[in-house]
Amino acid sequence: MRVVFLGNARWSVPSLEAVASSSHEVVRVVTRVPKPAGRGGALTPTPVALSARRRGLPLAEVETVKSGPGFEALAEAEPDVLAVVAYGEILPAAVLHVPRTAPVNVHFSLLPAFRGAAPVQHAILRGERVTGVSTIRMDEGMDTGPVLAQAEEPIRADDDAGSLGDRLAALGGRVLVETLDSLAAGSIRERPQDHDRATYAPKLGPVDRLIVWSKPAEEVVRLVRAMAPEPGATATFRGRTLKILRASVAEPPKGGAHVDDVPPGGVVEAIVRGPGQGLHVRALDRAVILLEVAPEGRKRMTGAEFVRGYRPGVGEALGERPPETGQGRG
């Protein structure tokens, strides 16, 4: 089948490459125009654009597909299928009616669970043990169309959003090709979603990244995992933002302060080497070991390196809020 692929993100690329390597024909790749990035503000193409160029696929970099050149790029390609993966734009009916067979979206959850922009992160935040990918026939709602295919993926105890998202992206490519094969054969079986069972995964912002130390330690660690590797969960230390990139729940300390001796957010232990090395910070019920951090204006470092460099004292507090000046936010 003739496929127009729409995507922007790194997690879109495995689906593009899977379709390009299949029996189906990618007649056009549509992605957003290059945007300034980095300290120099150089115009940077999307990962999808870079992949399309490497493969020599027809590429259209557009501001929007709702109208103008972007819409024309879709219509002129005369696709059988629109394949949409992490494109980030709500598509109106006019766009959804362009393909002859179907507009297909790859979503990184087992719909109707976790509809929205951040399903990978929310699955980790909720403590789910299994997630997956769904392909759906797109309608005008937010991830509400009938399910075409699904596949499960376990969530590992040490997964962060990066590692889980990478596996889901690879799985999504395989499921997308299987969906296209079934559409071409006329053997697809659509299943309407049970909207009463829907849960939601809205985009997460700076406030959502702030660690609240009065929550249980497991919840704090899940937040760290959900926000890693970027943008990172945040706290403050000595008035400056501290990104926390990797953490675990600590065993009860054998010496030094007992976890109940300090308030939530206070340093329980600071261990430079050996078992449990890192900065131990009290949460509601247990201590959390900060295993990898990035102080404001500094590169990432291990928790032990942070302890050696900053020498935090027992009882010293890690705040829940960035400085009021806004420095270091994000």
The rounded distance, in Å, linking the Cα atoms of 57 and 52 is 5
pLDDT reading at 267 higher than 90: yes
Of the candidate CATH numbers 3.40.50.10800, 3.10.25.10, 3.20.20.70, 3.30.470.10, the domain formed by 206-319 belongs to 3.10.25.10
Give the model's pLDDT for residue 39: 77
Domain positions in the chain are: 2-197, 206-319
Which tokens is 186 given? 């006329």
Contacts of residue 50, defined as CB under 8 A and 6 or more positions apart, other chains included, come to none
Give the model's pLDDT for residue 260: 76
Taking only the tens place, the pLDDT of each residue in 15-45 is 999 999 999 999 999 999 999 987 788 999 9
Other Cβ atoms less than 10 A from the Cβ of 23: the count is 10
Fold annotation for 2-197:
Rossmann fold (3.40.50)
Give the model's pLDDT for residue 254: 53
Give the model's pLDDT for residue 66: 95
Taking residues 102-118, report their average pLDDT.
98
- Give percent of the chain above pLDDT 70: 95
Give the model's pLDDT for residue 325: 39
pLDDT reading at 294 higher than 60: yes
Taking residues 228-249, report their average pLDDT.
96
Give pTM, 2 decimals.
0.93
* 99 vs 255, residue with greater confidence: 99
Three-state secondary structure of the chain: CEEEEEECCHHHHHHHHHHHCCCCEEEEEEEECCEEECCCCEEECCHHHHHHHHHCCCEEEECCCCCHHHHHHHHHCCCCEEEEECCCCCCCHHHHCCCCCEEEEEECCCCCCCECCCHHHHHHHCCCCEEEEEEEECCCCCCCCCEEEEEEEECCCCCCHHHHHHHHHHHHHHHHHHHHHHHHHCCCCCECCCHHHCCECCCCCHHHHECCCCCCHHHHHHHHHHHCCCCCEEEEECCEEEEEEEEEECCCCCCCCCHHHCCCCEEEEEECCCCCCEEEEECCCCEEEEEEEEECCCCCEEHHHHHHHHCCCCCCEEECCCCCCCCCCC
pLDDT reading at 236 higher than 90: yes
Taking only the tens place, the pLDDT of each residue in 179-209 is 999 999 999 999 999 999 999 999 999 999 9
* 282 vs 323, residue with greater confidence: 282
* 260 vs 108, residue with greater confidence: 108
Asked if the domains 2-197 and 206-319 are classified in one and the same CATH topology, the answer is: no
